[in-house]
Structure 1
Amino acid sequence: MKNPFQAFMDVRRAEWPLALAMLTYFFLVITSFWILKPLKKGLFIEYYDASGFDLLGVQFTAAQAELLAKVLNMLVAFVAVVVFTWLSRFLRRQQLSFVFAGFFIVCYLLFTRWLDQPGGGAVWSFYLFGDLFSTLMVATFFAFLNDAVYQETARRLYGLVGLGGVLGGVFGSTVVRVNIDNLTYPDWLWICSGLALLIVFAAWLAGRHVQVPLAEEPEASAESVQHNPATEGARLVFRSHYLLSIVAIVGLYEIISTIMDFQFTATIAHYLSGPEIGAQFALVFSITNWVSLIVQLFFTGLVMSRFGVGIALLVLPCTIAMGSTAFLLFPVLWMGSLLNTADNGFSYSINQSAKEALYVPTTPAEKYRAKAFIDMFVQRFAKAVAVLISLGLTFAFGDFDSLRYLSLITLLLLVLWVAAARYAGRVFRASEEQAAAANSQP
């Protein structure tokens, strides 16, 4: 290749307006996410770090209490799946974005009053709200994107569009790190409200430049509407081996990621206290997002265009294997902190672009309802499984040193993840070849 950036920047002239609008949309969503994430996590851990959390006479540390919050997130995600599935029967693309952005603006305004002097109820509610934002808005964005491009263009455009999310992560986490001591929680929520209004504008702009016709759903609306919105996505998933492989990729990643996040959080809570906890979270998140930016700029588009989606799906398991092995051997503050970087530095860049590309050859119903089931319920269910694993081991051994042995479970699960990724990559490649052969016929 004469130009090493050709794979990343291989965008046709007519595709630029949509690509830039979606890049901006994703930038705003992830900027908001990375503002909310350290705030809700720092508030939760600081609140329970001093006294711990008592439930039915059992005392939990702050990190263990956060695992309980992740279980509760599964119930919130189930409600989100039902609402998303029902709305997607009538609204698609930018219309869904308008509805959910408006919902979060209302919530931001309510939390500006509630977090002025937060108590236990506000702390738990804000934590759940932060996860609900990422659950709904990221799923809404990618459902829109996957429904707006052809399979032939996905490998070329997703690197550029994904850059918006990586830039949003760098920008959001850096802004929080620099200003975390200068702005109050209500101040941050007013900023997020402004970002939500910009999301509405970016979605509207992207909708004007979509060139892919809105496909009719083959299942005919009368029959589709009769399906229970709580189970429709699951029904679509379980009749497709390809979608089940995506379930395996997503589910195994979430179990592994939750275990690593618990190790990361518990390590910081063990070595630090007070405001140092929030500052360390902000610093690590900033480092992670800079790594993600470098990967997205110089690696994602090149790998996906030259080697394919299948190879791109294997990058994250390899980095997690290296990070987990290192923490198993050296469970110190910065090795535990960099577990976040080994995970999210590659998850939010190359792995997300490759994973989302897998949905492009699916049907409209699968893009919206099956994907919502996977991205919302399967993710949260997998987190709940990881919570049981993490709590079981830490309660059994009861000391910080036992955290390192969770990495052994991570390494075993990686074997299954790699097998699922290889299968999904082969099917995606076969569908690409079929689409190319169909397009070449006169």
Structure 2
Amino acid sequence: MTDRLKQYFNVRRDELLSVILAGLFFFCVLTALMLLRPAREALGLQGGIEAVRWLFVGTAFITLLVNPLFGVLVSRLPRLYFITATYAFFGLSLIGFYFLMVATPDVIGVTTGQVFYVWFSVFNLFVTMVFWALMADRFSLEQGKRLFGMIAVGGTCGAIFGPWLASLLAEPFGTPVLLLVSTAFLGLAVAMAWALAMQQPEKPQPGAELDPDAPPAVDEHAVIGGSAWAGFKAVFQSRYLMGIAAYAVILAIMATFLYFTRLQMVAALGDDMDYRTTIFARIDVITQVATLILQAFIAGHLMRRLGVHITLMLLPLTAALGFIGLALVASLAALIIFEACFRAVQRAIQRPARETLYTVVSREDKYKSKAFIDTFVYRGGDVVGAQVEGLLGRLGMGLAGIASVAVPLALVWAGLALWLGRAQQGLVGRLPVPQQDGPGKMAAAARR
């Protein structure tokens, strides 16, 4: 069994329990999110597509305000406590929305729907960011290359299970009950985080031989410390973190181009809501199946054999080829194929590879800088993408105009992926020994 696990999934026997717990953690997170995503889309679109572009601006602004608050939690609380506090905050918010929907259903309108859209977008960013931050803190770079793809399978299963559960519960119990179910899954996610932390390797004895590929031992009662704005400052002081931020911005722009292209093409088919729902469902099914296969059998092998830099290049190349094909063919079938390929590569291959970039930075940067990049910087890319797409549409340039911007940007994106992979390898040799933890131990190396 051990040989088969190593051959097909790149998992060693001593890692199996940790991988299962991490997968269950991500399953609970994605189930909680995907239970509510249909409601987010329906409420947000009440004001029209143009309003969605401005909702992106609102989301970016809110994430900028929330980041210092998260930085305070990271600075003052041990790891598991600030993770629990983050999930508890969003769980209590869900309970508040539930009572609002049940007690005063008449107030649910366009404005309330837009508030929920922005809140959910912030919720989505932070709960997934915290999960991957813990993964980068819990596993080493070598483990991340092998295991992050497999761990992401749990999230994909949650992304499939969440909508199915929503369809099962919404009609007999009503949409508001989905918020309570989502809260319950957030609670289960916290339980999985604590269970995973209990599997943290112990600090090696003095004089013992150190395994360079072993994950760093962490004192769960230790406080990371630093200031609330340390993550923001670190990004602008480090070429490596700036590179990760630039990669995230381009990713967000590309995803936004594709998102609004899908909205425009499906909207052009007519006003039949059932037909639109069917098209979106088909895209999601194809995407999730392809993602699951890539995550389970391919992602870990790609990173281990080709390296992080080549793996990070796959999504930029997919984007370039996809936008070229979409500009040439401009059909719904081409859109479905492109989006399924883009989302599958993004979730199964690019996301695990991108998260390994944080395994070589300080613990403070894993939570604070990562929070800034994965929330505000990413949403900033959304805003840029939405406004550029809208401008191209108003100029009447259509898919050809989008491709003329997206393809050169994808080539820059691919070059950035190569640089990040090589920079990561340069930082590996300057990592501290595994028993060290606390703020600033690796920051000096990461900021050169």
For 1:241-267, what per-residue CA distance to the aligned partner results, in whole angstroms no more than 9, with x for missing partners?
111111111111111111111111121
Q: Which of 73, 81, 102 is equivalent to 1:95? A: 81
| Contact 1:77/1:377 (<8 A) preserved | yes
Residue in 1 that maps onto 2:254: 256
Tell me, yes or no, if structure 1 residue 119 matches structure 2 residue 109. yes
Deviates more, 1:401-410 or 1:420-429: 401-410
| Contact 1:177/1:279 (<8 A) preserved | no
Shift of 1:331: 2.3
Residue in 2 that maps onto 1:41: 41
2-side partners of 1:437 and 1:97: how far apart? 25
Deviates more, 1:231-240 or 1:251-260: 231-240
2-side partners of 1:305 and 1:403: how far apart? 37
Residue in 2 that maps onto 1:207: 197
| Contact 2:74/2:224 (<8 A) preserved | no
Shift of 1:414: 0.3
| 1:22 maps to amino acid | A
Deviates more, 1:33-42 or 1:356-365: 33-42
Q: Describe the SS at the equivalent of 1:167.
A: helix
Q: Which of 387, 409, 426 is equivalent to 1:430? A: 426
| Contact 1:93/1:143 (<8 A) preserved | no
Shift of 1:272: 3.7
Q: Describe the SS at the equivalent of 2:358.
A: coil
For 1:124-145, what per-residue CA distance to the aligned partner results, in whole angstroms no more than 9, with x for missing partners?
0121122111111011111111
Residue in 2 that maps onto 1:59: none
Q: Which of 131, 142, 146 is equivalent to 1:141? A: 131
Shift of 1:72: 0.9
Residue in 1 that maps onto 2:402: 406
Residue in 2 that maps onto 1:71: 57
* Structure-2 change in CA distance of 1:8 and 1:32 (3 Å): farther
Deviates more, 1:279-288 or 1:187-196: 279-288
| 1:416 maps to amino acid | V
2-side partners of 1:269 and 1:42: how far apart? 14
For 1:404-434, what per-residue CA distance to the aligned partner results, in whole angstroms no more than 9, with x for missing partners?
5312211111011111100011122334466
Q: Describe the SS at the equivalent of 1:209.
A: coil
| Contact 2:311/2:349 (<8 A) preserved | yes
Q: Which segments of 5 or more consecutive residues in structure 1 lack a partner in the other structure?
A: 49-61
2-side partners of 1:204 and 1:377: how far apart? 27
* Structure-2 change in CA distance of 1:437 and 1:79 (3 Å): closer
Q: Describe the SS at the equivalent of 2:218.
A: coil
2-side partners of 1:330 and 1:64: how far apart? 26
| 1:198 maps to amino acid | L
Shift of 1:179: 6.7
1-side partners of 2:320 and 2:389: how far apart? 18
Q: Give me the TM-score of the superposition, normalised by structure 2.
A: 0.84
* Structure-2 change in CA distance of 1:375 and 1:183 (3 Å): same
1-side partners of 2:73 and 2:342: how far apart? 32
Tell me, yes or no, if structure 1 residue 153 matches structure 2 residue 143. yes
| 1:312 maps to amino acid | T
Q: Describe the SS at the equivalent of 1:214.
A: coil
Shift of 1:39: 2.4
Q: Give me the TM-score of the superposition, normalised by structure 1.
A: 0.85
Tell me, yes or no, if structure 1 residue 104 matches structure 2 residue 90. yes
Q: Describe the SS at the equivalent of 1:355.
A: helix
2-side partners of 1:291 and 1:183: how far apart? 32
Shift of 1:149: 1.9
Residue in 1 that maps onto 2:446: none
* Structure-2 change in CA distance of 1:278 and 1:66 (3 Å): farther
Shift of 1:372: 1.0
Query: Percentage identity across aligned positions?
Result: 24
Residue in 1 that maps onto 2:240: 242
Tell me, yes or no, if structure 1 residue 382 matches structure 2 residue 368. no
Instruction: Please show how residues 174-189 of structure 1 align to structure 2 within 5 Å.
Output: 174-176=164-166, 184-189=174-179
Instruction: Please show how residues 161-310 of structure 1 align to structure 2 within 5 Å.
Output: 161-176=151-166, 184-211=174-201, 212-214=216-218, 221=225, 224-225=226-227, 229=228, 231-276=229-274, 277-310=276-309
* Structure-2 change in CA distance of 1:437 and 1:145 (3 Å): closer
Shift of 1:344: 1.8
| Contact 1:115/1:122 (<8 A) preserved | no
2-side partners of 1:125 and 1:251: how far apart? 24
2-side partners of 1:150 and 1:327: how far apart? 39
Q: Describe the SS at the equivalent of 1:349.
A: helix
| Contact 2:76/2:224 (<8 A) preserved | no
Residue in 2 that maps onto 1:356: 355
* Structure-2 change in CA distance of 1:84 and 1:422 (3 Å): same
| 1:31 maps to amino acid | T
Q: Describe the SS at the equivalent of 1:6.
A: helix
| Contact 1:249/1:417 (<8 A) preserved | yes
Residue in 1 that maps onto 2:343: 344
1-side partners of 2:165 and 2:298: how far apart? 25
* Structure-2 change in CA distance of 1:272 and 1:43 (3 Å): farther
For 1:121-178, what per-residue CA distance to the aligned partner results, in whole angstroms no more than 9, with x for missing partners?
2210121122111111011111111111223322222122122122222322444567
Residue in 1 that maps onto 2:441: none
* Structure-2 change in CA distance of 1:10 and 1:433 (3 Å): farther
Shift of 1:278: 3.9
Residue in 2 that maps onto 1:317: 316
* Structure-2 change in CA distance of 1:246 and 1:215 (3 Å): farther
Shift of 1:95: 1.9
2-side partners of 1:278 and 1:42: how far apart? 11
| 1:73 maps to amino acid | T
